[in-house]
Amino acid sequence: MDVIFTPELTICGIEELPAQRERKVTHVLSLLDPELPEIETFSTYERHYRTTLRFHDIIVAAPDRVMPRPDHVEAILRFGADFQARQEAQAASHLLVHCHMGVSRSTAAMLALMAQANPDETAESLFARLVAIRPQAWPNSQMIGFADEQLGRKGDLTAALARHYGRQIKSRPQFTEWMTMLGRQAELKMAILD
């Protein structure tokens, strides 16, 4: 299998951004709450390309909250296509995707970017690579559903997500309480427990 998407990949939360400054980040995808002010840390980074999208990390509509929408995932995939187009064969590249905590929106976006760049890679393999990058990954199910559809994966990303949730609940039982507190019971119900 020819894996195209092989730059250095990092997922983190806002509080971890200062620690990434020295890691020669070339591309940044920021997924932020709409009301959050601009993040000043990026002014201390070396030259890089950055795209910012603003929506909340929710899976059910709520007043005064911006749901992830298909056009957000389309923008993520445009970012991925642009990233691939800018790659130089001999130049190092480092893609950083972050959201508030580095757990849900950013991991969903990274999974979508990896699936886009590696259309023949199995969903299970993509999720295994995602966990290697960010062990606490709990991708936003809405975003994964949109990516699944837009990439023509015919439900395999969503099915693999359910198995991933099951593995995460088993290895990190605190996710059950956390996701319940965040109103993400639908994702807990999706989980396939082995």
Q: For the chain, what is the domain count?
A: 1
Q: Among 50, 23, 31, 87, which residue's Cα sits nearest to residue 10?
A: 23
Domain contains 170: yes
Domain contains 20: yes
Domain contains 180: yes
Domain range for 17: 8-190
pTM of the predicted model as reported, rounded to 2 decimal places: 0.94
What is the model's pLDDT at position 6? 59
Cα separation, 183 vs 58, in Å, equals 8
Please report, for the domain that includes residue 40, its CATH number: 3.90.190.10
- The H-or-E segment that residue 178 falls in is helix 174-181
Single-letter residue type at 193:
L
Q: Is the pLDDT of residue 30 over 50?
A: yes
pLDDT band of 84, cuts 50, 70, 90? confident
Domain contains 66: yes
Domain contains 1: no
Please give the backbone phi and psi of residue 13, each rounded to the nearest 5 degrees, phi first: -100, 175
Domain contains 3: no
Domain contains 51: yes
Domain contains 2: no
Query: What percentage of the chain reaches a pLDDT higher than 70?
Result: 95
pLDDT tens for each residue of 113-143: 999 999 999 999 999 999 999 999 999 999 9
